[in-house]
Amino acid sequence: MSFPPNLGRFDLASLRLFLFTVEAGSLTAGAERYGISLAAASKRIAELEARVGLPLLERSKRGVVATPAGQTLQRHAIELVARLEQLAVSMADFHRGTEGHLRLWANASAFMRFLPAALAAYSAAHPRIKIDLEDVFSDDAARAVARGTAELAVIDEHTLAEGLQTLVCDVDELLLVVPPRHPLAACRAVPFAQALEHEFVAFGRATSLTRQMAAAAEAAGRSLTIRVQIRSFDAMCRMVGAGLGIGLLPGAAAVPHAAAMGLRLVRIEGPLAQRRLLLAMRERGALSPPAEAFVRLVERQRLEAAREPALR
C-alpha cells in the first residue's frame, strides 16, 4: 500500500492554523486568530496540502470550507492538537509536583448541586492531582469530551451526546420562577401546558434545557414563546423580576436566586418535574487514573444517596 509523501510529518502549528481557518470559514480570519500574516498562513496551508497530497480547503468568494479530505483531517486534528496540548500541560504539572490531571467540564447546575462537595472529597483523597474545571453549557461540555479536550463532562440528560458513555450523577427538580404578582405566583404546582400561556425568559434555543422545554410544548400541542434569551441563572431571575417573562430553572439555582430577589417558585407537574445530570465520557475503559477515580467517587456518592431514604 502506498501513501502520499511526508504523510507522517505533520506540523502542529499548521494543524492549529487549519482548525482555526475551518472554524472561522476564512483563511484571513484563521491567520488573524493564529497571529500570523495572510501570506504566511497561505503558505502553511499549501505546505499542509502538499504533505497530504490532496486539497483540504475549497475556496470561494464567500470564504473556505473543508473538502471531504479536509473534514477527515479536521476530525483527527481536533483530537490530536487537544491531546498534545494536554500532554504539555500534564508534563508541566509533573514538574510542579502533581501526580495527575483531572480534566472536567460541567454545566452550571452541577456547580449549584453535587459538584463542589464531590470535588472537595476528591481533592482530599487525591491532593496531588490537579483539577482542570470549566463552567460551560452542557452542549459545550459534551463536545469537549468528544474532541478530547476534556475527559469528563457533567451534562443535562437531554444533551446531544452521541458516541459518549454516561451515568447518572445527580437528580434535580425543575421549578418555575415568576414575579410575586404574576397570575401563577399563588399556585403551588401547575402543568407545564398552563405555564406555556405565558412568555418565557430562557437560555438560548440550542441549549439542552430550552430544547427540553420546546419538546414538552410540542408534546402538549402548544408553542414555547421566548421573549428574552439569557446566558446565566442570575440574568434569568433579574429579567423575571423585571416582568419580562417567567423562567424555568433547576431547584438548586432557583431557590437562592428567588429568595434574594423576592421571586416566587412554582412546581411543575408532569415530565418536566425533574431532570437528571449525567457524567459523560468517551470510553470508561480508556479513562486516565485521575478520571476513573472521580467516576468511582461519583458512583459511591450516588449509591449512598440511594440508601439514605431506606435508613431514615
Contacts of 42 (CB under 8 A, 6+ apart): 27, 31
Q: What is the CATH number of domain 12-75?
A: 1.10.10.10
Task: Give the residue-averaged pLDDT of 2-27.
Answer: 78
Cα–Cα distance measured from residue 305 to residue 108, given in angstroms and rounded to the nearest whole number: 21
Q: Under a CB-based contact definition with an 8 Å cutoff, are residues 170 and 277 in contact?
A: yes
Asked if residue 123 has pLDDT above 60, the reply is yes
Whole-Å CA distances, 48 to 23, 53, 77, 152: 17, 8, 12, 32
pLDDT-derived band at 227 (thresholds 50, 70, 90) equals very high
pLDDT digits (tens, 9 = 90+) for 154-199: 999 989 898 899 999 999 899 999 999 999 999 999 999 999 999 9
Name the packing angle between helices 27-34 and 12-24 (round to 10°). 130
pLDDT digits (tens, 9 = 90+) for 269-283: 988 898 899 999 999
Task: Give the residue-averaged pLDDT of 209-238.
Answer: 93
CA dihedral 136, 138, 139, 145 (to 10 degrees): 80
Task: Give the residue-averaged pLDDT of 86-98.
Answer: 64
Architecture of domain 172-275: 3-Layer(aba) Sandwich (3.40)
b/e sequence 274-284, b meaning 16+ C-beta within 10 Å: ebebbbbbbee
Cα–Cα distance measured from residue 185 to residue 177, given in angstroms and rounded to the nearest whole number: 9
Asked if residue 67 has pLDDT above 90, the reply is yes
Strand partners, 246: 200
Find, among 290, 273, 277, 308, the residue nearest to 112 by Cα: 277
Asked if residue 8 has pLDDT above 90, the reply is no
Residues of the chain with CATH 1.10.10.10: 12-75
Residues of the chain with CATH 3.40.190.10: 81-169+276-311
Find, among 168, 158, 163, the residue nearest to 203 by Cα: 158
Cell of 36: 500570523
Q: What is the CATH number of domain 81-169+276-311?
A: 3.40.190.10
Q: What pTM did the predictor assign?
A: 0.69
Cα–Cα distance measured from residue 153 to residue 147, given in angstroms and rounded to the nearest whole number: 12
